[in-house]
Amino acid sequence: TLPGEIRDLAVEHMKEPQQINISEEKLVLPSTEQAYINVGRKNKIWALCRILDTEKPKAIVFCQTKRMVDILARSLTSYGYPVAALHGDLTQARREKVLDDFRSGKIKVLIATDVAARGLDIEGVTHVINYDIPDNPEVYVHRIGRTGRAGKEGKAITFVTSQEEHLLKGIKDFSGAGVAHTEVPEGPG
């Protein structure tokens, strides 16, 4: 995003300037394994709990709305999972506390709106889970970019209801990356 005036200034005052264009929106990290799970809306929390129980991730779980973030965070907390909510209605002090707790490992799962999809760089995030599939494929790319960083492997799992199949197709077409179908992990015993 280089405005024309700035580009003209650069050409005028620099010796042999070169412009490198990188489409961040189409950049999907190769160290991020991408998968989707077909799951009904009412079974999403069950599927999420299975993933948390079997894979023990340090995860960011993305929801479309602040209300859904709060509902999911309350439900998971009541089940005993160390989670916290992150969205735009929280005070700056509360957001910083949540992020500090997540960075330190006190909180293992961050339930967030897309406020966390850009600019959030937290080391060691093993999973990004799209509890709600994003409407926009570019948002998907930004979300999954929170894992698989600094040469480490990451996993992106997207829950897809039957009514959302078209959104998954849009993501696959846009990213050009393979998003493999997988099943909900089987729980213990």
pLDDT of residue 26: 42
The SS3 call for residue 95 is helix
Q: What is the mean pLDDT of residues 149-173?
A: 89
Token pair recorded at residue 154: 């990451």
Question: Which of the residue ranges 75-89, 97-111, 167-181 would you say has the lowest mean pLDDT?
Answer: 167-181
pTM summary value: 0.82
pLDDT at 24 > cutoff 50:
no
Summary count for the chain: helices (H), strands (E): 6, 7
pLDDT of residue 98: 94
CA 76 to centroid of chain Cα atoms? 18
**Single-letter amino acid, residue 22:** I
- Report DSSP state, residue 186: P
- Report DSSP state, residue 24: G
pLDDT of residue 157: 96
pLDDT of residue 166: 94
What does residue 36 show for φ and ψ, rounded to 5 degrees?
Answer: -135, 155
- Distance from C-alpha of 62 to C-alpha of 187, rounded to nearest angstrom: 23
β pairing state of 127-130 and 154-160: parallel
- Distance from C-alpha of 50 to C-alpha of 63, rounded to nearest angstrom: 18
Q: Are 83 and 111 in contact (CB under 8 A)?
A: yes
- Distance from C-alpha of 154 to C-alpha of 135, rounded to nearest angstrom: 22
- Distance from C-alpha of 69 to C-alpha of 51, rounded to nearest angstrom: 18
pLDDT of residue 1: 47
- Report DSSP state, residue 6: H
pLDDT at 31 > cutoff 50:
yes
Top pLDDT among 1 and 79 is at 79
